[in-house]
């Protein structure tokens, strides 16, 4: 009798555990999108040192396919353009089986048609400032911290609409061409990297491509020629 009561209690406890786990699963499935959105905004802002906002997140847990919409990354203090990057859609594909392991495999991150503004102040660019903050956030003092690591099979930026600005332009911009960016196997050689290190790799790649595509010296010369022509036109109107 005593044994039967014990077995009954164990059965009730097991049933309660199953109910709790099932409830947690369905709650997580229903709230996963908002949890990811909040995490991107919170940790993204901490990592970059600038405001990071997300419009919406949609992730399918079974397949690991997801979309982040309406992402914006602001500019550090002192810069005059409205943002560093805005993108309507980022496509993600995560290996669902890796979510329970120490290293999460991200098969694909594709940034579609971002609006990038590359601004140079008197001493540095906005991407220099962001990359510096990311590096400090993921520096040696944090490298030993726990948490999952990441491997990204493919990171791509497609169809970027880039603009350039400099201190003398007072927040105005000119359009420039920016070739597509493709990176493979980020973090694989190290067996995985932290989110901060991934952010550093992406910021570095963007900055290198922007620096190779935009010459601020040429921008200054072009602005000078434009100002000279405008002055000549004014003189002509005044008959001088």
What are the domain boundaries of the chain? 2-214
The alpha-helical segments, DSSP class H, found in the chain are 2-48, 126-137, 140-143, 195-213, 216-237
Q: How confident is the model at residue 228 (pLDDT cuts 50, 70, 90)?
A: very low
Question: When comparing pLDDT for 239 and 89, which is higher?
Answer: 89
Question: When comparing pLDDT for 221 and 122, which is higher?
Answer: 122
pLDDT above 50 for 14: yes
DSSP label at 119?
A: E
pLDDT above 70 for 50: yes
Taking residue 61's Cβ as centre, other Cβ atoms within 10 Å add up to: 14
Bridge partner residues of 69 (DSSP): 56, 89
Quick one: tokens of 138? 């993921």
3-class SS at 77?
Answer: coil
Pairing between strand 161-166 and 115-120? parallel
Residue 113: HSE in the Cβ half-sphere, 13 Å Cα cutoff = 4
Model pLDDT for residues 102-156, shown as the tens digit of each residue: 999 999 999 999 999 999 888 889 999 998 888 887 665 454 455 789 999 999 9
CB 153 within 8 A of CB 184: yes
- Rounded to an integer, the average pLDDT of 200-204 is 85
Bridge partner residues of 116 (DSSP): 85, 162
- The overall average pLDDT reported for the chain is 79
* Helix 195-213 / helix 2-48 crossing angle, nearest 10 deg: 20
- What is the structure's pLDDT at 222? 61
Which residues have CB under 8 Å from 196's CB, separation 6+?
Answer: 47, 134, 137, 138, 142
121 by Cβ neighbours in 10 Å (0-12 / 13-18 / 19+) ranks as middle
Q: How confident is the model at residue 234 (pLDDT cuts 50, 70, 90)?
A: very low
- Rounded to an integer, the average pLDDT of 203-218 is 79
Quick one: tokens of 140? 């040696």
- What is the structure's pLDDT at 8? 59
183 by Cβ neighbours in 10 Å (0-12 / 13-18 / 19+) ranks as middle
Per the listing, tokens 């993600």 go with 92
Model pLDDT for residues 59-101, shown as the tens digit of each residue: 887 888 989 999 999 999 999 999 999 999 999 999 988 888 8
């Amino acid at each position: 009798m005593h044994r039967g009561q014990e077995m009954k209690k164990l059965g009730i406890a097991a049933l309660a555990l199953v109910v709790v786990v099932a409830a947690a699963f369905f709650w997580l499935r229903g709230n996963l999108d908002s949890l990811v959105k909040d995490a991107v905004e919170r940790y993204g802002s901490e990592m970059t040192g600038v405001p990071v906002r997300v419009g919406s997140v949609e992730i399918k847990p079974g397949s690991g396919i997801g979309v982040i919409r309406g992402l914006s990354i602001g500019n550090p203090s002192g810069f005059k353009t409205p943002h560093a990057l805005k993108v309507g859609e980022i496509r993600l594909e995560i290996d669902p089986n890796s979510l329970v392991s120490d290293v999460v495999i991200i098969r694909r991150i594709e940034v579609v048609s971002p609006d990038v503004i590359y601004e140079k102040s008197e001493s540095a660019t906005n991407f220099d400032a962001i990359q510096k903050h990311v590096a400090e956030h993921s520096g040696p003092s944090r490298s030993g911290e726990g948490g999952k690591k990441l491997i990204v099979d493919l990171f791509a930026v497609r169809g970027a609409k880039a603009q350039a600005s400099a201190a003398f332009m007072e927040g105005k911009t000119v359009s420039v061409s920016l070739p597509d960016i493709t990176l493979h196997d980020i973090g694989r050689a190290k067996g995985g990297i932290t989110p901060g290190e991934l952010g550093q790799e992406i910021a570095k790649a963007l900055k290198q491509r922007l620096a190779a595509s935009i010459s601020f010296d040429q921008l200054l010369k072009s602005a000078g020629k434009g100002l000279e022509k405008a002055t000549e036109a004014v003189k002509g109107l005044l008959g001088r």
